Structure 1
Amino acid sequence: MQPVGFRLLGKSSNPIKAPVMAILNAFDLLTKPPGELPSVAAVFGSDTTLRSWVISALCEGGDVTSFDGDTVRWSDLRDDLATASLFDFDGKRAIIVRDADKFVSSQRPELEKYAAKPGTSNRFILDLSSLASNTRLYKAIAGDHLVVACASTADKKTGVTAASRRKFLCGYVAKRHNAVLAADAADALVEMIGDEIGMLETEIAKLALYRAPGETIDEPLVRDVVAGWQGKTVWQITDAIASGDAAEAMRQLDKLMSGGQRPIALLPQIAWSLRRLGMATSVVEHREREGRPIQLEDALSAAGIHRPAEIQQAKKQLRGLGRARGKQLLPWLLDADLRLKGTHSADGRDRFLLEQLVMRMAKSS
C-alpha cells in the first residue's frame, strides 16, 4: 500500500488518487520510505540535519545537481528541469535548490506553474528553512507532490510527539551507529542537550563507543558520559542560581558558551533540574490552596526526585530559591524556550536571552 500523501499513476490511463495529506514529517519519511516518489518536493524546517537526511533519501543515491538559492534564477533551471540525466538509467536525476527561501520569494509564479505541470525527467527539490502553509505554492506541492517538515520539537501540526522522537532516536539514529539505545537514555539525551537531531546523533555516536555491539546504551551511561565537565558546570550554574549568586552563574555560563555550547542546547540542560524544582513548588502551592499541607519530600517525589541524595540537594536548592522565585521557574523557562526557538533564535540574540534568564533566576528575592 502506498503511503497517504501521494497521487500515483497506475498502468491505466486514469490516475489512481490516494487521499491527500498536507504534510509529512521527516521521522515518518525516513523510517517508512515511500515506494514511489513525486516529481516535486519541498523540504523545510529548522533542523538542518533532518533536512539533509530527507533530501538524501529523496535523491535515492542518483545523480544530483545543486543550485544556490541566493543566486539562482528560474532561467538557470529551465533547461536542467527539461533534460534527463545521461547516467541515471533506473531513476530520476535530482535537481536541488539549496537555501531556497529567497528563490521561492522571487520566483513564486514560475514555481507555481511548474508544480501544476512538472516535467517527468527529473525530481525537483526545494530546500527551505520555512514554507507558509497558506501560500498557493505550499498547497500545490502538498496537494499533488510532497511536503516534508523537518523539525524535532513536538508539534501537533507536523505530527511530531515526544514518543515519535524517542522511537526515531532509538531506531533510525541508533542504527546508523550499530547501537542499541534504551528509551530512558533517549529521553535523558533530549533533557540534557535539547532536541536538535544533529547534536543528538553526535552524542549517540560517542556513546556507541562505550558499548560492545548489541549492548544497550542506558540512562546511567548517558548521564555519566554526556555530562562530563560540561554537566558538572551545568550543576554549578544550577547551584549558583538557587543560592542567588548571579556572578558565579554567569561565570560558569560563559565558560560553557566559550567552549562551543549553543544557548539552544544549554537551556534544556540548565532547565532539567530547575523545572523539577518549579514543579515541586507548584505541588506545594496547589496542596496549600486545597487546605492540605504536604511534606516537601512528597512534593519532590511528585516532581520526579526520588533518590535520597537528590532529595537532600533539591531541598537545599529550594530553600535557597525561596517561594517567590520557585513559583516563577516554570513560566520563566517556558518563555525562554519559546523565544529561543522563535524571536531570539539568531546568533547573539540567543546568548543575550539565556544570560538574561540566568540573571533573572539567580536574582535574590
Structure 2
Amino acid sequence: MKPGDFPAAGVCAISGDDPFLKHEVRNALVKSTLGDASEGFGVEVFEGRQAEWRDVQDALRERSLFGSSQQVVVVEDADPFVKQYREKLEEIVETTPVGSSLILEVTSWPGNTRLAKAVAKSGLTISCATPEKGAELTAHTKLLKDWLTHQALHVYGVKLERGAVDVLLEQLPSESGILCQEIARLALLTDDKAPIDIALVKEHVGGWRVRKTWDMIDAAADGRADDALNQLDRLMAAGDEAFALLPQMASTLRRFAAAARNYEQAEQARRPMSLRAALEAGGIPPFKLGAAEVQLKQIGRPRAKQLYRWLLAADLELKGHNSTKDRARRVLETLIVRLSKQAAPARSKA
C-alpha cells in the first residue's frame, strides 16, 4: 500500500477477529493517508468503550499545526461505540470534514445495515476475518503467504522460501500475529544471508505447542493459574522442557515489568502517563495492548515491580547443577502461582 492508494475520505471500517492484522491494516491506511507525517502528528486514537461522540467529532475537525493537513481519527474496539452512536455515524459518512478520515476497528460489521451500506458506497470496508472454507479460504491463504513472505524480507531482512511458508501454515494456526512472531524468531536463527527454509522450520517450529505456550503465558498473566498449570502439564507431557519455556514466559513478563517501571518513573517525574502508553513503551506489541492492560492490572504494581527479581531467580535455579526435570518444572509452577489471582496482595481499604 502506497501513499495515495486510499486517500483520506470519510469513514473506513476494519472488521474481523484478527487483532494483529487489523492493526497492520490500520497502520498501512494511516501511512497511506499521511505519509511521513504519520509519526506523531495527524492521528488521534480513542478506545471504543470510553469514547464520547463529541470528542470524536471534535477530533475530526481539528488540524495539526505541524505535519499533514489531513486528520485521521481511529476508534479501537469500536463495537460499543458503533452501537451507541449508529445514527450519528450514518450522518457523518456523508458529512465528514474535508481531509478527515474516521477508522472504526470492529469485530462485527454486518453488511446489510444502513451504516455498512453507506460506508461501502462512499468510504472503505476491509475484512480481517479468516474465511472458513471454499474459494474465499483458498484466496485468503494465498494472500497470507504472499504477505508473510513480504514481511520476512522487508521487516526482518530475511528471505522466506515458499516451501517454508507452506510448512509454517501446516504447523501453526492461520493467525497472522502468531505467524509473524514465529518468522521473527526464525529470522534470529538463520545464518548471515541464509533464508528461512523448510529444514529450519521443521527443526524449530513445534506446531500446536507454539500456540499452547502462548495460551499458557496469557493464562498466567490473566491470573488463571489452574488453566496455566494444565497447559504447562500438556506441554511438558508432549516433550517441552522448562529450559525452553522460561525464556518465552520471561520475554512477556519482562515487558510488564518495564511497563510498571515506566509508569512509576513518569509519576515520580510528575509527568503521568497512561497505562497503555507505559505498556507500549515497555515493548508490548500494539495489537496486544488491550489484553495486556487488563493483565497488568491483574498482576498489580507490587508484583510487577518484583518480576525482574523473580525471573532472575528462576533463571539461576534452572541453570543450577542440581536442577532436575521435576525441579525445573516446579520453578515454572512457582512463577505461575505467584501471578495467580489468589496470590494477589490484599488491597488496603480507603
Asked if 1:111 is matched to 2:101, the reply is no
Query: Any conservation in 2 of the 1:179–1:213 contact (CA below 8 Å)?
Result: no
Kindly provide the amino acid, as one letter, of the partner of residue 204 in structure 2: V
Distance apart, 1:35 and its partner CA = 5.5
Aligned residues: 216
The correspondence for 1:66, drawn from 35, 45, 60, is: 45
Q: Deviations over 1:77-100 (max 9, x none)?
A: 222222222223x34121111100
Query: Any conservation in 2 of the 1:178–1:213 contact (CA below 8 Å)?
Result: no
Match of 2:14 in 1: 43
The correspondence for 1:143, drawn from 105, 121, 133, is: 121
Match of 2:108 in 1: 130
Asked if 1:180 is matched to 2:159, the reply is yes
Aligned equivalents of 1:163 and 1:228: distance in 2?
Answer: 20
Asked if 1:80 is matched to 2:62, the reply is no
After TM superposition, list the pairs within 5 Å mapping 1:196-235 onto structure 2. Answer: 196-227=175-206, 230=209
Aligned equivalents of 2:209 and 2:116: distance in 1?
Answer: 42
Query: Any conservation in 1 of the 2:72–2:103 contact (CA below 8 Å)?
Result: yes
Aligned equivalents of 2:205 and 2:113: distance in 1?
Answer: 42
Moved more, 220-229 or 106-115: 220-229
After TM superposition, list the pairs within 5 Å mapping 1:9-20 onto structure 2. Answer: none
Look up the SS of the partner of 2:101 in the other structure: strand
Look up the SS of the partner of 1:123 in the other structure: strand
Match of 2:325 in 1: none
Aligned equivalents of 2:23 and 2:75: distance in 1?
Answer: 12
After TM superposition, list the pairs within 5 Å mapping 1:1-365 onto structure 2. Answer: 30=1, 34=5, 36-60=7-31, 61=38, 62-88=41-67, 90-153=68-131, 156=135, 160-227=139-206, 230=209, 252=234
Kindly provide the amino acid, as one letter, of the partner of residue 108 in structure 1: R
Aligned equivalents of 1:251 and 1:172: distance in 2?
Answer: 34
Query: Any conservation in 2 of the 1:43–1:148 contact (CA below 8 Å)?
Result: yes
Aligned equivalents of 2:8 and 2:55: distance in 1?
Answer: 24
Moved more, 194-203 or 35-44: 35-44
Query: Any conservation in 1 of the 2:53–2:85 contact (CA below 8 Å)?
Result: yes
Cα 1:136–1:164 shift into 2, 3 Å: same
Kindly provide the amino acid, as one letter, of the partner of residue 163 in structure 1: K
Look up the SS of the partner of 1:43 in the other structure: strand
Distance apart, 1:254 and its partner CA = 7.9
Look up the SS of the partner of 2:148 in the other structure: helix
Percent identity (aligned): 30
What are structure 1's unaligned runs of at least 5 residues? 1-29, 235-248, 262-365
Aligned equivalents of 2:194 and 2:4: distance in 1?
Answer: 28
Query: Any conservation in 2 of the 1:188–1:222 contact (CA below 8 Å)?
Result: yes
Look up the SS of the partner of 1:126 in the other structure: strand
Match of 1:25 in 2: none
What are structure 2's unaligned runs of at least 5 residues? 32-37, 214-230, 249-350
Task: Normalising by structure 2, report the TM-score.
Answer: 0.54
Look up the SS of the partner of 2:129 in the other structure: coil
Query: Any conservation in 2 of the 1:154–1:160 contact (CA below 8 Å)?
Result: no
Q: Deviations over 1:100-120 (max 9, x none)?
A: 000101110000000122111
Distance apart, 1:213 and its partner CA = 4.8
Cα 1:76–1:219 shift into 2, 3 Å: same
Aligned equivalents of 2:153 and 2:130: distance in 1?
Answer: 16
Q: How well do the aligned residues superpose, as a CA RMSD in angstroms? A: 3.4
